[in-house]
């Protein structure tokens, strides 16, 4: 793979400020957040400039071609019938999974909620979606009704910017191999009366962060959300961050896919 001109940046990322309590985060209303965050300026490397293509089974993330004909991001029927199956097929192709099952409905984070109705709040802190035991419980909520049993599985996130580049709030991901479990702090996502544990990550100089600048509509960032295999790193921690060079207000959609290996 040929290298390209690098667009490495330095930006502020928010980490866990408490090694005991990871706080509370509301996906829909930031005023409900109870977070003790520890901001640090970190280097975020341009993954496009690497001399190799990052892999899901190594770094825990990759950029994939993911084209869709006439996308209609605010048509829920199109999302269910076209977008969701395309994400399942993409993860299956990238991982070699025997089967893929959708995990919840895709989440949209919209730059202009007044124009589009409800939206999800961008999670501006370094986190992994769930602890492993919680990820396994949630996965079974979706695989059991589908008659699918698994011994080995992982949950992947298919993340797509649906507004043009450059994005003002890109998503960065960490090489999953550089995150020590000692930096994991459990918090809870609060949504519609329910509480679901997540992992917020404490700062560490060992963690290596990457992003893909200027993501196009026919690209998706795929990364490990929660690996349910205990012999693998838990996941690729991730966070939105403010692009120091500015950009277009970013809207995005993310689909979570359970990949069954055995």
Residue-number span of the structural domain to which 199 is assigned? 11-260
Q: Is residue 5 part of a domain?
A: no
The verdict on residue 1 lying in a domain is no
Q: What is the pTM of this model?
A: 0.93
2 falls within a domain? no
Number of domains present in the structure of the chain: 1
Q: What is the structure's pLDDT at 164?
A: 94
The verdict on residue 83 lying in a domain is yes
Q: Residue 54 sits in a domain of what CATH number?
A: 2.60.120
Per-residue pLDDT tens digits for 85-130: 999 999 999 999 999 999 888 988 877 655 544 556 667 899 999 9
Question: How confident is the model over 11-17, as a mean pLDDT?
Answer: 97
How much is the pLDDT for 114?
Answer: 54
Rounded to 5 degrees, what angle do the CA atoms 155, 57, 95 make? 60
Q: What is the DSSP string of 91-142?
A: HHHHH--SEEEEEEEEEEE-S-HHHHS--PPP--S-EES--HHHHHHHHHHH
Would 3 be classed as within a structural domain? no
- Residue 4 lies inside a defined structural domain of this protein: no
**DSSP-derived 3-state class of residue 83:** helix
- Cα–Cα nearest to 61, from 27, 95, 88, 30: 95
Residue 127 lies in a domain: yes
Give the per-residue pLDDT at 180.
97
Query: Cα–Cα distance between 212 and 44 in angstroms, integer?
Result: 10
Question: Looking at the predicted structure, is the pLDDT value of residue 236 above 70?
Answer: yes
pLDDT band at 29 (very low <50, low <70, confident <90, very high): confident
pLDDT at 33: 84
* pLDDT of 145 higher than 60: yes
**What residues form DSSP beta bridges with 171?**
240
Q: In the predicted model, what is the mean pLDDT of the chain?
A: 92
Structural contact between residues 252 and 85, judged by C-beta atoms closer than 8 angstroms: no
């Amino acid at each position: 793979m040929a290298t390209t001109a690098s667009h490495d940046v330095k930006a502020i990322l928010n980490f866990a400020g408490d090694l005991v309590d990871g706080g509370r985060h509301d996906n829909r209303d930031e005023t409900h957040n109870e977070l003790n965050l520890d901001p640090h300026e970190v280097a975020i490397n341009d993954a496009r400039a690497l001399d190799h293509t990052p892999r899901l089974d190594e770094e825990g993330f990759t950029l994939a071609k993911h084209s869709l004909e006439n996308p209609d991001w605010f048509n829920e029927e199109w999302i269910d019938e076209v977008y969701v199956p395309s994400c399942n097929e993409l993860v299956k192709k990238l991982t070699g999974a025997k089967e893929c099952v959708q995990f919840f409905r895709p989440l949209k984070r919209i730059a202009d909620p007044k124009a589009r109705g409800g939206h999800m709040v961008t999670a501006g802190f370094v986190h992994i979606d769930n602890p492993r035991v919680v990820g396994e419980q949630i996965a079974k909520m979706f695989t059991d009704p589908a008659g699918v049993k698994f011994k080995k599985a992982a949950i992947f996130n298919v993340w797509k910017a649906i507004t043009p580049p450059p994005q003002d709030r890109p998503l960065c991901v960490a090489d999953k191999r550089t995150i020590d479990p000692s930096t994991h702090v459990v918090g809870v996502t609060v949504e519609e009366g329910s509480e679901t544990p997540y992992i917020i990550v404490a700062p560490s100089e060992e963690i290596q962060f990457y992003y893909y600048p200027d993501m196009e509509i026919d690209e998706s960032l795929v990364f490990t959300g929660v690996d349910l295999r205990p012999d693998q790193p838990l996941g690729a921690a991730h966070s939105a961050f403010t692009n120091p060079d500015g950009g277009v207000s970013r809207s995005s959609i993310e689909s979570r896919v359970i990949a069954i290996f055995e």
